[in-house]
Structure 1
Amino acid sequence: MHDAPTSAQLVAAVREFLASDVLPATEGRVRFHTRVAINVLAMVEREIELGPSQALDHETRLAALGVASDAELAAAIREGRLDDNPMLEPLLKEAVRAKLAVANPGYLT
C-alpha cells in the first residue's frame, strides 16, 4: 500500500547514516547513545523482516500445546498442566531462539 522506500529501508538508511556519519564524528556520551540507537535500529530491521513468520510459527507451536497465547502458556506451566508434555521444552527453546534472532543474533552462535 505504501510506496518505496519501505519502512525497513527507511530504518536501514537511518541506521547506516548513524553508523557512517554520526558515530565517527562523536565521542563520549553522544557516541555511546549513537551506538545504542544503531543497535535499536538493527533490532527493528530484524523484527520487521522476521517478525511475521516468527509470530505465525509461534502461534502454531502454541496451538500444538493446546494454548492460545503466551499468558495461557505461562498459566499452564505454573499449574503443572504441561509437565509431561514432550513438546514444551522444544517450544520454549524455539521461542528463545526467535527472540535472540531479533534482539542479538550473535548469541545464537
Structure 2
Amino acid sequence: MQDFPKPDAVLGAVIDWLRDVAVPNLPPHAAFEAKVAANALGLVARALDAGPAETAEHARLTALLGRGGGIEDLTAALSERIRSGEIDLATPGLADHLWTTTLDKLAVDQPKFAPYRRVRTAETQEG
C-alpha cells in the first residue's frame, strides 16, 4: 500500500489544477466541461470523506428498525414503514435520523447550499 500521496491529496491537486490552470486557458465550452469535471471530482472527494457519517447513519437505522442489514436495505425498510404509517415523526429517534441524514447528504452533494451552511454555522456557534 502506498503511503503518499494520499488519495484525497491527489483528488485535491487535480481539482485545483482543473480550476486554476485548465479552465482559464481553455475555450469556453471546454472550460465549462473542465468545471463540471472538477465539481464531479469534488463530490467524489467529499463522498470518500463521508465514511463516519455513513457508519452513524447505519447505526441509527439499525436502532430505529431493530434489525441489521445493509444501509440500502435498511433505508428501504424505513421508507416502507413510514409510507405504511407504521412509524411517524412521533417515533423516538426518527426526526433526528431524518434531519441528521439530510444534513450529512447535503455535506456531500451540496455543501455550498445556503440553508445548509446556515444550519452548520448555527450548530458550530451553539456547540
- Per the normalisation by structure 1, the TM-score is 0.88
Distance 1:33 1:96 in 2: 29
What does residue 82 of structure 1 align with? 87
Kindly state the Cα deviation for residue 27 of structure 1 after the two structures are TM-superposed: 3.1
Distance 1:4 1:40 in 2: 23
Distance 1:14 1:8 in 2: 10
What does residue 93 of structure 1 align with? 99
Kindly state the Cα deviation for residue 18 of structure 1 after the two structures are TM-superposed: 0.5
Amino acid paired to 1:75: E
What's the secondary structure of 1:60's corresponding residue? helix
What's the secondary structure of 2:112's corresponding residue? helix
Structure 1's consecutive aligned runs of 4 or more residues displaced over 4 angstroms after TM superposition are: none
- Per the normalisation by structure 2, the TM-score is 0.76
Q: Any stretches of 5+ residues in structure 1 without a counterpart? A: none
Distance 1:24 1:34 in 2: 10
Identity of aligned residues (%): 30
What does residue 71 of structure 1 align with? 76
Kindly state the Cα deviation for residue 86 of structure 1 after the two structures are TM-superposed: 3.6
What does residue 26 of structure 1 align with? 26
Kindly state the Cα deviation for residue 70 of structure 1 after the two structures are TM-superposed: 0.8
Distance 1:86 1:33 in 2: 46
What does residue 123 of structure 2 align with? none
What does residue 122 of structure 2 align with? none
- Tell me the number of residue pairs that the alignment of Structure 1 and Structure 2 aligns: 108
Q: Any stretches of 5+ residues in structure 2 without a counterpart? A: 69-73, 118-127
